[in-house]
Amino acid sequence: MARLRAPGGCPWDREQSFDTIRKYTLEETYEVFDAIERRDFPHLAEELGDLLLQVLFYAEMAANEGHFTISDVLDHLSRKLIRRHPHVFGEEASRAAGNQANVDAAVEGSAIAVLRNWEEIKATEKAPLELLDSETSEPVSRLDSVQRAMPALAEAAKLGAKAAKSKFDWPHWRDLLPKVAEETAELEAEAARAEQGPDNSSHRKAVEAEFGDLLFTVVNLGRHLGVDAEMALRGCNLRFRQRFREMELMSPRPLEELVPDELEALWTEAKRKLASSSKQSSTPANTSAVLKP
């Protein structure tokens, strides 16, 4: 990468900036996700290399501008791993790496204890030195630690989890079901008003806001159920792709020539056929092939 960015290197690589490269970082991340979901390990090795290239690219650009080097990146990571794992590297090494939290390193094989210590150590790293932001003079919110640049579904789940630490949360997942119904009714009412009124941006924004409220509630329902909203939606998208393709294969005519009842019948049959095929192909070996946390 240093050679590509150097004088006489690659013209395209030399022209890139942090802003032009960032879109590729997101693409490569999702390609890694896709390879993992398909258990395509040869492809995963390639995609991880592409993702690593993004790190090297950013580090080289930063080094060119005098900000930091790839060695700084690795040093920060190494110190963080030691700092947040006193139960592995020892409390003395953790302190030397910057840990200022008082945690019990005797986790006794408990992943829950590890996560609790991790969050406490992380909190001391991120804690503001002052109650007011020095630039804006505005109160610092505990939600500021949730990155705004995250995918919206993940951001919603993290915001809910962070607020829950202040006991601002629904006590049980069942308590969210009436809230889902409430948000659905509000969306329905706003959409009906938009249909009756003139087609303007204010109506569209109102519908969008109510739709967002419904999504936020559903994401937090998933959080209470231990379901990752992003992964759940990706799984749903995959099932839709498979079922729709099966409809196309089974249909005697192009789908656009069918009436709604025929389309519904095809969809139902596609679901049944794929479910049956999935059951037949399932074996104990397959069902046990689950990544361990």
Q: Are residues 219 and 242 in the same domain?
A: no
| Phi, psi of 132, deg, nearest 5 | -110, 140
With respect to residue 142, please indicate whether it lies within any of the assigned structural domains.
Answer: no
In a domain, 131, yes or no: no
CATH number at residue 49: 1.10.287.1080
Asked if residues 166 and 142 have their Cβ atoms less than 8 Å apart, the reply is: yes
Specify burial of residue 290 (Cβ count, 10 A radius: 0-12, 13-18, 19+).
exposed
Residue 9 carries which DSSP code?
Answer: S
Q: Is residue 211 part of a domain?
A: yes
Whether the predicted model's global pTM rises above the 0.75 cut: no
**Predicted local distance difference test score (pLDDT) of residue 129:** 43
Q: Kindly state whether residues 167 and 212 are assigned to the same domain.
A: yes
Residue 75 lies in a domain: no
Give the integer Cα–Cα distance in Å for 246 and 244: 5
Q: How many domains does the chain have?
A: 4
**Is residue 18 domain-resident?**
yes
Question: Is the predicted pLDDT of residue 63 greater than 90, yes or no?
Answer: yes
CB neighbour burial string for 3-28, b if at least 16 within 10 angstroms, e if fewer: eebeeeeeeebeebeeeeeeeebeeb
User: Span 163-167, mean pLDDT?
Assistant: 90
Domain match, 192 and 252 both: no
Question: Which range, of 70-74, 141-145, 179-183, 230-234, averages the lowest pLDDT?
Answer: 141-145
Task: Tell me if 292 is assigned to some domain.
Answer: no
Least Cα distance to 107 among 98, 124, 125, 120 occurs for 120
Full domain range(s) for residue 19:
1-68
Question: pLDDT, tens digit, for every residue of 255-283?
Answer: 999 999 999 999 999 999 998 887 776 54
Is the residue at 237 inside a domain?
A: yes
Domain-embedded: residue 244? yes
Least confident of 65-79, 102-116, 165-179, 189-203: 189-203
